[in-house]
């Protein structure tokens, strides 16, 4: 056979790429079921209102309508993350414009939509809360009057419109200020970014003859969908099966939704399969956004650039329901110190309710907000100190073995190398032709960090009768490439080409448990499970071969292409097929490997840090990077163009370098959208002003730089699979502050609010 | 309810009979009547480009084209790009360049690039970028898609 | 909804006389609005089969007569032989994205009359004439009179646009279209259309129009007259810009505040005039 190329480290095309380029990949809305009905939701026209009653008679009378459900029909079963405050349809009150209040199943979509419009809801409008400032006013209208009675997994000091309040501190920040030679402070604001995955959310639910529900979802975890549907319908998880279609992007926005339970309810009510596929506008109105943040930040340093104190107050706008607000808050708080050894830090955080779309998880998970403030302020500090901003970062940068706030150890840390690499790349880049009149150029470098880990996962490997393998995990590929990565890990250990392994699609009946595709955790967490499960299978194969050759396993080796051979004896070997047949028909039983675990890293050290009501205890391994952007600012209009980006990342080991680069490049452009263009905008009535792609500005190819250079540094993490760490989110994290700092370098204008619209840039230029 | 029209469409070399409401877009008919789900509905407002198909060889928005108004013009969709199971050069290059992530924008990218490379056999990267300016991709940052187009044109750097 | 696809203008006009009927040209705005449930015509009259509406004629002086069904891509691909053509061709190329330009038409665009669209500002600047057909025959409407307000035109019930006639502009003059949008392919925050002629270092011809800053494109003959005979220096342009800004009444929306748009008008006007001036001077020494 041809020389065996180790799949780990190879730039393999995605295993499912072929079906994607020929158009046969089946996303949610591409699926149909015999006799399938179509669902539509009726949505609240009010940002805040009491529901006095429903009249569904007209909707029910419409020919073709098979079922109607309102909030009055469902038992109140509140679901959510750490604070359970949300029902699948609004019950008693609506809390944001667009909130689902009722749903219809009908024989076709047009009928369903018409019926949804015919549902009459009697509302009593209530005063609204549309900003962080309004939410915190002493006499503010309350979104959740029954907040105290909600189930929660830990105390978050919820009160009024405050969802959660946490504190995190280390050292003595009050004492440190007097020792600082230079102090900078500022207030930073970030917007509600919409995930804008290309495939809108949707679900198909059906009920079998025994009453058991199956939900097909475009989602980030079948296990999470299964849990939520079971919770909302009040049935055991054993009565819900969740499956996944191909997923057209997620970015954190498809981890949960009301729609699965609504579809399941309608399927149960009608006995027919029901598809609920959201339009783009509905997706924007119903799903979730990145948390808008208001961050006050203060940083102090000695004259030599040693940063000794940082204090932050972070307030997140969580929208109408808590969802993942406590967790996003905790992570923003953990990230705002930045990857610097700052001994005295105090962070106060809170998340508040407002009458807007719920905010939730979104690539970066609080870190982009924190890093916008933190890394903007590092340049402001450098300016005040008269120190080169890269040198200031190098001076304070964490090194291997240094501790994160709270005490977690950064076992591997290539931050210094990342900073140096992007600076070198920038300096070595070819000079561009000079800018046109009225345009100014500048560049800036930021340091970024993220984590890679969290929660539980597992994997199984089954050897088939012909010596090929079935690999199963609960890890859903939402476009990032985990199907291929997991297969590469398994294939490498078994020394077989990836074609000899099938990676099973996720199904809660069959797939080993995985929390979800989130937290840059798939490669690191599920990859570890895949490696461990594969090693079990490998060892069993060796045991069978040892029995067949009557030798010790230590005398055997795997040979490329699916063989086991005796070390030092080239001809003496047995194929995997013979091993498999032995196991299945003669001795030992099927060869199966399984491994499951929960993230097992260090917990916070309560002796080191004051930690109150923080939603995490351990998170994962820390990843580091540095990002350099070069911008051109049109000083007449304020428009910012990003010309080139260099982004260096400490990935441990690139299992598939093409996928790693794709993650870096894609995250950078999503970060660029966050920095310059994207924001959900609500009017004074709490109605979204721009719920369509015509009005919400996702960067196209001409808005993105042609040159985005990923720089991949490999310093294997001792716990990672082949040393790998995750890279799914970190590349988005630093782009906004990098652009803000580059705009300042070009023009002297300092922007502390994103998106940096041309209008805001012009204002900053005029203020400078 | 809308009146139903009966008409024929020429799609990927076949003549197909269709009955649809007059309001049905070409995308509606392809996806929900003919089961040709390769063309995607990303926004239904002509912005994202996931529904792009060729009309007489020219890229247009499936979601902004009324099916009844297509008439005799030849429709080519992503399903018509890989004849006989062989990938087109654009499809192969997207695969080889690692340009595929979630894949939802990919059908629109494929048909857009096929038409573009037919008219511009040796494009610059900048010309490729302009040709793709109406195809949103949220995953890739576009870099590898441009690399793929350049590879497909046989002008790899 | 009913659908008709007549082959003559007369048939189209007859079909459009029905209550609730709308005409479908490229459909790039109308179908988007139908998809968003913003409009629901009772009858749609497609102009696609009316061959004469696709015709484009180039006059001996370089002026254009553009049939209503000419796509933006077709117009953008023309070789300009006059200042008026140069301006309108540039505006066509600035609309949306390639696939939109492949189907969208000039007739559809101007009949839609979005004040932030590209064609209206350009054809007003170029002093074009809109040729309209209705039950009582054809009439010719100056572009400046055609745009009446936000999505409002001089089209009467049942009337359709059949052509846009773009005069050449002064010999030796040059056109320039300066569009400022938040992202590529979007509608303008502000757009500026200009035609400038230069003679002996002095401005000999000026037409200026501002888009997206009022319910219809803004022109002010006094501002244009003020530029004649000047070297188009800062002072002259400031004066003209002041007059134009005085006629602007922009909206506040997520693309930009009214005050920002007003701030941009003089800046983009200068950029556009200077671009056209440089081209005019290069061409004529």
DSSP codes, A126-159? -----SHHHHTSTTPPPS-TTGGGS-BSS----B
Average pLDDT for A391-420: 97
Please tell me the predicted confidence (pLDDT) of residue A4.
86
Phi, psi for residue C137 in degrees, rounded to 5: 105, -165
Q: Which of A582, A552, A638, A324 is nearest to A454 (CA)?
A: A324
Percent of chain B with pLDDT over 70: 97
Distance CA A715, CA A7 (A): 19
Judge whether C191 and C261 are in contact, CB under 8 Å.
no
**3-state SS, one letter per residue, for C118-159:** HHHHHHHHCCCEEEEEECCEEEEEEHHHHEEECCEECCCCCC
Residues on chain B touching A27 (C-beta within 8 angstroms): 37, 40, 104
State yes or no: pLDDT of A97 exceeds 90: yes
**8 Å CB contact of C98 and B112:** yes
Determine how β-strand A49-55 pairs with β-strand C137-142: unpaired
Report the gap between the CA of B34 and the closest CA in chain A (Å).
12
Determine how β-strand C129-134 pairs with β-strand C160-166: antiparallel
**8 Å CB contact of B146 and A249:** no
The answer to whether the Cα torsion of B117, B119, B123, B126 is positive or negative is: negative
The stretches of A630-708 forming alpha helices (DSSP H) are 657-676
Average pLDDT for A496-516: 97
**3-state SS, one letter per residue, for C185-231:** CCCCCEEEEEEEEEECCEEEEEEEEEECCCCCCECCHHHHHHHCCCC
Please tell me the predicted confidence (pLDDT) of residue B2.
52
C1 — pLDDT class (breaks 50, 70, 90): confident
Q: How far is CA A263 from CA A118, A224, A268, A332, B48, in A?
A: 19, 16, 9, 34, 27
B3 — pLDDT class (breaks 50, 70, 90): confident
Determine how β-strand A162-170 pairs with β-strand A344-352: antiparallel
When CB atoms are compared, the residue of C36, C185, C267 closest to A637 is C267
Question: In sequence order, what are the beta bridge partners of C130?
Answer: C141, C164
Touching A: C residues 83-122, CB under 8 Å? 97
Judge whether A754 and A735 are in contact, CB under 8 Å.
no
Please tell me the predicted confidence (pLDDT) of residue A2.
55
Report the gap between the CA of C268 and the closest CA in chain B (Å).
24
**8 Å CB contact of A22 and B95:** no
Mind listing the pLDDT tens digit for each residue in A593-629?
A: 999 999 999 999 999 999 999 999 889 999 999 999 9
Distance CA A12, CA A200 (A): 28
Mutate to test the interface with A, among B142, B145, B149 (most CBs of A within 10 A): B142
State yes or no: pLDDT of C285 exceeds 70: no
The token pair at C184 is 């590529």
Give the count of beta carbons closer than 10 Å to the beta carbon of residue C17: 12
Please tell me the predicted confidence (pLDDT) of residue A202.
98
- Asked if C189 reaches chain A (Cβ–Cβ under 8 Å), the answer is yes
Q: Which residue of A has its CA nearest to C257?
A: A759
Mutate to test the interface with B, among A23, A28, A108, A672 (most CBs of B within 10 A): A23
Pick left, alpha or beta for residue A427 (phi over 0 → left; psi -120 to 50 → alpha; otherwise beta): alpha
Report the gap between the CA of C101 and the closest CA in chain A (Å).
16
Distance CA B88, CA B91 (A): 5
B84 — pLDDT class (breaks 50, 70, 90): confident
Percent of chain C with pLDDT over 90: 97
Question: In sequence order, what are the beta bridge partners of A446?
Answer: A627
Judge whether B62 and B38 are in contact, CB under 8 Å.
no
**What is the rounded (10 degree) CA torsion for C275, C278, C279, C285?**
170
Look at the block and give the residue holding tokens 């990303």.
Answer: B42
**8 Å CB contact of A29 and B31:** yes
Look at the block and give the residue holding tokens 């260096």.
Answer: A648
Please tell me the predicted confidence (pLDDT) of residue B155.
47
Mind listing the pLDDT tens digit for each residue in A344-363?
A: 999 999 999 999 999 999 99
State yes or no: pLDDT of A104 exceeds 60: yes
Question: In sequence order, what are the beta bridge partners of A316?
Answer: A293, A351
- The mean pLDDT of chain A is 97
Q: Which of A103, A119, A149 is nearest to A258 (CA)?
A: A103
Mind listing the pLDDT tens digit for each residue in A657-701?
A: 999 999 999 999 999 999 999 999 999 999 999 999 999 999 999
pTM check: above 0.90: yes
When CB atoms are compared, the residue of C183, C256, C268 closest to A700 is C183
ipTM of the complex: 0.97
Judge whether C166 and C63 are in contact, CB under 8 Å.
yes
Q: How far is CA A750 from CA A52, A490, A744, A762, in A?
A: 50, 49, 5, 10
When CB atoms are compared, the residue of A27, A662, A698 closest to B136 is A698
Judge whether C71 and B64 are in contact, CB under 8 Å.
no
**8 Å CB contact of A697 and C189:** no
Mutate to test the interface with A, among B141, B147, B151, B157 (most CBs of A within 10 A): B141
The token pair at C162 is 């059949």
Distance CA C68, CA C58 (A): 15
Backbone Cα Rg of chain B: 16
When CB atoms are compared, the residue of B1, B94, B133 closest to A700 is B133
Please tell me the predicted confidence (pLDDT) of residue C91.
98
Please tell me the predicted confidence (pLDDT) of residue B82.
85
State yes or no: pLDDT of A472 exceeds 80: yes
Touching B: C residues 71-130, CB under 8 Å? 73, 96-100, 102-103
The token pair at A694 is 């015509």
B35, burial (CB in 10 Å: exposed 0-12, middle 13-18, buried 19+): exposed
Please tell me the predicted confidence (pLDDT) of residue B85.
82
Question: In sequence order, what are the beta bridge partners of A632?
Answer: A441, A641
State yes or no: pLDDT of B157 exceeds 50: no
Mind listing the pLDDT tens digit for each residue in A113-139?
A: 999 999 999 999 999 999 999 999 999
**8 Å CB contact of C185 and A637:** no
Look at the block and give the residue holding tokens 């650039």.
Answer: A305
Mutate to test the interface with C, among A673, A759, A762 (most CBs of C within 10 A): A759
State yes or no: pLDDT of C83 exceeds 90: yes
State yes or no: pLDDT of A312 exceeds 80: yes
Average pLDDT for B25-32: 98
Judge whether A119 and A70 are in contact, CB under 8 Å.
yes
**3-state SS, one letter per residue, for A240-268:** EEEEECECCCCCCCCCCCCHHHHHHHHHH
Residues on chain B touching C100 (C-beta within 8 angstroms): 46, 61, 64, 134
Look at the block and give the residue holding tokens 């009359």.
Answer: C113
**8 Å CB contact of C28 and B21:** no
Mind listing the pLDDT tens digit for each residue in A544-565?
A: 999 999 999 999 999 999 999 9
Task: Work out the angle between the directed axes of helices A735-747 and A758-767 (0-180°, nearest 10).
Answer: 40
Average pLDDT for C3-26: 95
**8 Å CB contact of A21 and B98:** no
The stretches of A458-604 forming alpha helices (DSSP H) are 482-494, 527-549, 576-585
Backbone Cα Rg of chain C: 19
């Amino acid at each position: 056979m041809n020389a065996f190329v180790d799949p780990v480290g190879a730039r393999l095309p995605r295993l499912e790429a072929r079906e994607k380029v020929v158009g046969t990949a089946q996303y949610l809305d591409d699926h149909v079921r015999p006799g399938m009905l179509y669902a539509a939701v009726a949505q609240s026209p009010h940002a805040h209102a009491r529901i006095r009653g429903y009249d569904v008679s007209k909707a029910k009378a419409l020919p073709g309508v098979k079922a109607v459900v309102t909030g009055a029909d469902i038992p109140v079963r509140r679901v959510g993350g750490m604070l359970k405050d949300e029902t699948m349809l609004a019950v008693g009150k609506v809390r944001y414009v667009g909130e689902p209040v009722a749903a219809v199943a009908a024989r076709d979509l047009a009928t369903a939509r018409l019926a949804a419009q015919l549902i009459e809801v009697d509302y009593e409008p209530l005063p609204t809360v549309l900003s962080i400032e309004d939410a915190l006013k002493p006499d503010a209208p309350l979104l959740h009057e029954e907040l105290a009675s909600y189930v929660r997994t830990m105390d978050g000091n919820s009160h009024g419109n405050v969802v959660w309040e946490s504190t995190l501190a280390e050292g003595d920040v009050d004492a440190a200020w007097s020792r600082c030679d230079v102090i900078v402070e500022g207030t930073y604001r970030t917007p509600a970014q919409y995930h804008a995955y290309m495939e809108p959310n949707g679900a198909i639910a059906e009920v079998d003859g025994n009453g058991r529900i199956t939900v097909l979802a475009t989602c980030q975890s079948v296990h999470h969908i299964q849990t939520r549907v079971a919770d909302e319908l009040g049935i055991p998880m054993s009565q819900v099966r969740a499956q996944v279609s191909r997923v057209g992007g997620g970015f954190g926005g498809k981890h949960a939704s009301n729609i699965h339970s609504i579809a399941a309810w309608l399927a149960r009510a009608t006995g027919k399969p029901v598809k609920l596929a959201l339009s783009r506008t509905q997706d924007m109105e119903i799903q979730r956004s990145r948390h808008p943040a208001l961050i006050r930040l203060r940083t102090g340093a000695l004259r030599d650039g040693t940063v000794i104190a940082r204090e932050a107050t972070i307030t997140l706008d969580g929208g109408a329901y808590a969802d993942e607000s406590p967790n996003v808050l905790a992570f923003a708080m953990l990230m705002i110190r930045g990857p610097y050894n700052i001994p005295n830090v105090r962070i106060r955080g809170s998340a508040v309710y407002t009458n807007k779309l719920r905010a939730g998880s979104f690539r970066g998970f609080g870190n982009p907000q924190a890093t916008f403030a933190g890394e903007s302020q590092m340049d402001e500090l450098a300016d005040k100190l008269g120190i080169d901003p890269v040198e200031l970062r190098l001076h304070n940068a964490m090194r291997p073995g240094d501790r994160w706030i709270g005490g977690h150890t950064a076992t591997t840390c290539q931050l210094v190398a990342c900073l140096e690499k992007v600076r070198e790349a920038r300096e070595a880049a070819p000079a561009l032709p000079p800018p046109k009149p009225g345009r100014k150029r500048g560049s800036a470098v930021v340091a970024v960090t993220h984590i890679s880990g969290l929660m539980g996962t597992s994997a199984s490997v089954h050897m088939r009768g012909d010596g090929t393998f079935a690999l199963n995990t609960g890890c859903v590929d939402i476009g990032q490439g985990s199907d291929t990565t997991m297969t590469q890990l398994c294939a490498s250990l078994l020394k077989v080409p990836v074609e000899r392994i099938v990676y099973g699609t996720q199904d809660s009946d069959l797939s080993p448990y995985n929390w979800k595709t989130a937290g840059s955790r798939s490669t690191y967490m599920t990859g570890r499970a895949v490696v461990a499960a594969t090693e079990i299978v490998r060892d069993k194969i060796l045991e069978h071969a040892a029995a067949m050759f009557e030798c010790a396993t230590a005398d055997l080796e795997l040979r490329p292409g699916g063989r086991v051979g005796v070390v030092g004896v080239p001809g003496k070997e047995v194929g995997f097929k013979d091993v498999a047949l032995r196991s299945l028909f003669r001795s030992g039983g099927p060869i199966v490997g399984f491994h499951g675990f929960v993230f097992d890293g260090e917990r916070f050290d309560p002796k080191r840090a004051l930690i109150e009501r923080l939603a995490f205890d351990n998170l994962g391994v820390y990843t580091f990077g540095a990002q350099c952007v070069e911008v051109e600012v049109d000083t007449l209009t304020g428009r910012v163009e990003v010309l080139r980006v260099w982004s260096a990342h400490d990935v441990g080991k690139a299992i598939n370098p093409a996928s790693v680069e794709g993650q870096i490049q894609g995250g950078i452009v999503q970060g660029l959208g966050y920095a310059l263009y994207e924001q959900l905008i609500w009017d004074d009535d709490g109605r979204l002003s721009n719920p369509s792609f015509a009005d919400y500005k996702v960067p196209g190819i001409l808005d993105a730089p042609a040159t985005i250079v990923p720089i991949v540094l490999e310093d294997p993490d001792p716990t990672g699979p082949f040393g790998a760490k995750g890279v799914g989110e970190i590349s988005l994290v630093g782009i906004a502050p990098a652009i803000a700092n580059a705009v300042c370098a070009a023009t002297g204008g300092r922007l502390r609010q994103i998106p940096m619209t041309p209008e805001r840039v012009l204002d900053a230029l005029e203020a400078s | 309810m809308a009146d139903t029209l009966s008409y024929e469409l020429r799609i990927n070399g076949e003549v197909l009979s269709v009955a649809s409401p007059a309001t049905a877009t070409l995308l509606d008919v392809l996806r929900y009547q003919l089961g040709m789900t390769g063309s995607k509905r990303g926004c239904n407002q002509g912005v994202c480009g996931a529904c792009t198909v060729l009309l007489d060889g020219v890229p247009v928005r499936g979601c902004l084209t009324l099916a009844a108004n297509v008439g005799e013009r030849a429709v080519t969709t992503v399903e018509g790009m890989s004849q006989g199971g062989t990938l087109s050069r654009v499809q192969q290059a997207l695969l080889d360049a690692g340009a595929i992530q979630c894949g939802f924008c990919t059908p629109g990218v494929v048909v857009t690039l096929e038409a573009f490379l037919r008219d511009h056999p040796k494009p610059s990267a900048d010309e490729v970028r302009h040709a793709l300016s109406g195809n949103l991709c949220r995953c890739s940052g576009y870099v590898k898609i441009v690399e793929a187009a350049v590879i497909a044109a046989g002008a790899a750097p | 909804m009913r659908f008709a696809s007549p082959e003559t203008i007369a048939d189209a006009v007859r079909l459009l006389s029905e209550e609730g009927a709308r005409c479908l040209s490229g459909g790039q705005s109308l179908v988007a609005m139908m998809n968003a449930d913003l409009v629901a015509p009772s009858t749609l009259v497609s102009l696609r089969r009316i061959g004469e509406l696709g015709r484009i004629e180039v006059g001996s002086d370089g002026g254009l007569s553009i049939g209503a069904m000419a796509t933006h891509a077709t117009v953008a691909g023309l070789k300009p032989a006059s200042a008026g053509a140069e301006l309108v061709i540039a505006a066509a190329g600035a609309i949306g994205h390639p696939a939109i330009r492949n189907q969208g038409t000039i007739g559809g665009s101007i009949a839609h009359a979005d004040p932030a669209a590209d064609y209206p500002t350009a054809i007003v600047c170029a002093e074009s004439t809109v040729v309209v057909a209705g039950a009582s025959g054809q009439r010719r409407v100056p572009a400046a009179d055609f745009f009446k307000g936000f999505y409002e035109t001089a089209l009467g019930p049942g009337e359709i646009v059949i052509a846009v006639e773009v005069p050449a502009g002064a010999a030796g003059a040059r056109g320039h279209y300066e569009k400022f949008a938040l992202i590529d392919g979007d509608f303008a925050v502000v757009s500026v259309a200009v035609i400038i002629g230069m003679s002996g270092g002095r401005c000999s011809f000026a037409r200026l129009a501002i888009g997206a800053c009022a319910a219809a494109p803004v022109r002010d003959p006094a501002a244009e007259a003020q530029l004649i005979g000047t070297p188009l220096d800062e002072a002259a342009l400031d004066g003209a810009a002041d007059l134009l800004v005085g006629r602007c009444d922009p909206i506040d929306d997520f693309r930009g505040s009214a005050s920002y748009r007003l701030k941009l008008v003089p800046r983009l006007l200068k950029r556009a005039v200077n671009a056209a001036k440089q081209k005019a001077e290069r061409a004529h020494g």
